[in-house]
Amino acid sequence: MARHALAIVGASRPRPGEVANGDAWTVESDDGGWRISVIDGLGHGPEAEAAAVIALDTLATQPSLPPDRALEICHRRLAGSRGAAISIVGIDVSAGLLTFCGVGNVEGRLILESHERRLTAQRGIVGATLPGLRPLDFPLQGDWLLLLHTDGVSARFHIDALRPMGERGLQSLADEILAGWARAYDDATIVVAQTAPEYPGPATARVS
Ligand SMILES: [Mn+2]
């Protein structure tokens, strides 16, 4: 199966005054597609960062697991740590399917041509209290834009005023959201994804 290109960018910073960043994000891929994970180690500072690093290491060793299975493995590996909120998105571009599974408060939005879907995480703490996981599937058709962010970014950011154009514009979008809506008292991370301009699909695949 061909693995279509995606543009995936992010912006992250620790709580002002901190060096350690308890937020992290990562992308893994295999022949089936892409997996994007956004992690918020509980609280902030070095212990939060240590939890995030465990999650990053765990995800890197299991690039082919779907979001819910990846969360289960993170839950086991994070036992005894500060714990984390983690949301994971799997994208199979060939099948036109996005799967979301999250625990904690890393939230997302999937902006489609005609409507917008909220990606809402389940209650719990990865590493401490894992709920029965319910992955959510969303069909992908035409233009789409995915945004995932930790609770260090206010969910009230306005996307309509911002115009992503190609990969360079996508990074600007992430940077603008971080600059405008990050909270002063927490680590903050936003990840944005869309089909890459070279995606051999409809000419309208670029969001603008
Ligand atoms: Mn946070």
How far, rounded to the nearest angstrom, does the alpha carbon of residue 150 sit from its chain's CA centroid?
Answer: 8
Burial class of residue 113 in the structure, from the number of CB atoms within 10 Å of its CB (0-12 exposed, 13-18 middle, 19+ buried): exposed
Whole-number CA gyration radius for the chain: 16
Q: In which residue are the tokens 């990053």 written? A: 56
3-state SS, residue 154: coil
Per-residue pLDDT tens over the stretch 30-63: 887 899 999 999 999 999 999 999 999 999 999 9
Distance 162 CA to ligand 1 centre (A): 24
Instruction: Tell me the percentage of the chain whose pLDDT exceeds 90.
Output: 73
| H or E element that contains 47 | helix 46-61
Expressed in angstroms and rounded, the spacing between residue 40 Cα and the centre of ligand 1 is 5
How far away, in angstroms, is 180 Cα from ligand 1 center? 16
Residue 3 has pLDDT above 90, yes or no: no
Spatial distance between the Cα atoms of 108 and 105, rounded to a whole number of angstroms: 9
* Cα 168 to averaged position of ligand 1 atoms, centre (Å): 27
Interval 54-83: pLDDT, tens: 999 999 999 999 999 999 999 999 999 999
Q: At a CB cut-off of 8 Å and minimum separation 6, what does 39 contact? A: 23, 24, 25, 26, 51, 52, 55, 56, 84, 85, 86, 106
42 CA to middle of ligand 1, Å? 6
Structural domains in the chain, CATH included, are 6-199 (3.60.40.10)
pLDDT at 205 over 80: no
Residue 152 Cα, ligand 1 centroid: separation in angstroms? 5
Q: Tell how strand 107-112 and strand 144-149 pair up.
A: antiparallel
- The pTM (predicted TM-score) of the whole model is 0.90
Return the SS3 of 92.
Answer: strand
Q: How remote is the CA of residue 10 from the centroid of ligand 1, in Å?
A: 16
Which of 2-16, 46-60, 136-150 has the least mean pLDDT? 2-16
